[in-house]
Amino acid sequence: MNAINRSEQLDETEVDDNLAAVSEVEDGIRDFVRNDIAYLRRPAVVASSEALDSNHEATVNSVNSLIQRVAGTSLAEIEKLIGELESLRDLLHAEGQRVQREISGYAQLSQAAMKSTRMIADNVSQWKRAADGLRHS
């Protein structure tokens, strides 16, 4: 029961961390949009345009780094899953080839058994005819 509670606590902690990360991303995006809209509403001032551009770039960089941090774990998991799927594909391909070889071997064995059976049947029929000929003579 303690193990269940611990795993539930871990899951809750993980969920809380995810919610905090999502909230942080949303806050960053919200700030970015506010700054962007405020920039559009302000009258154009030639002297301070460089300051606004640097503030705008800093906000964009902040949002980008925030998104990369949040998405980094997901991307790592996706890349790991892709690697596992590629390994599984290779395994299935190799097993498919092995099964084809086995089936080919069984087909050859079956053909050899049929040839042997025909030869035995032909020999038995010849012996039977020879025995019938001896009985009638």
Q: pLDDT tens string for the chain (137 positions)?
A: 454 555 555 566 777 777 787 788 778 777 776 766 655 555 555 445 555 566 777 777 787 777 777 777 788 888 999 999 999 999 999 999 999 999 999 999 999 999 999 999 999 999 999 888 888 87
Per-residue tokens: 98: 């092995």
Per-residue tokens: 100: 């084809």
Nearest to 57 by CA among 36, 34, 26: 36
Query: What integer pLDDT is reported at residue 61 of this predicted model?
Result: 79
Question: Rg of the chain over CA atoms, in angstroms?
Answer: 39
Query: What integer pLDDT is reported at residue 47 of this predicted model?
Result: 45
Q: Give CA–CA dist 105/113, Å, rounded.
A: 12
Nearest to 73 by CA among 8, 21, 20: 21
Give the DSSP letter of residue 45.
-
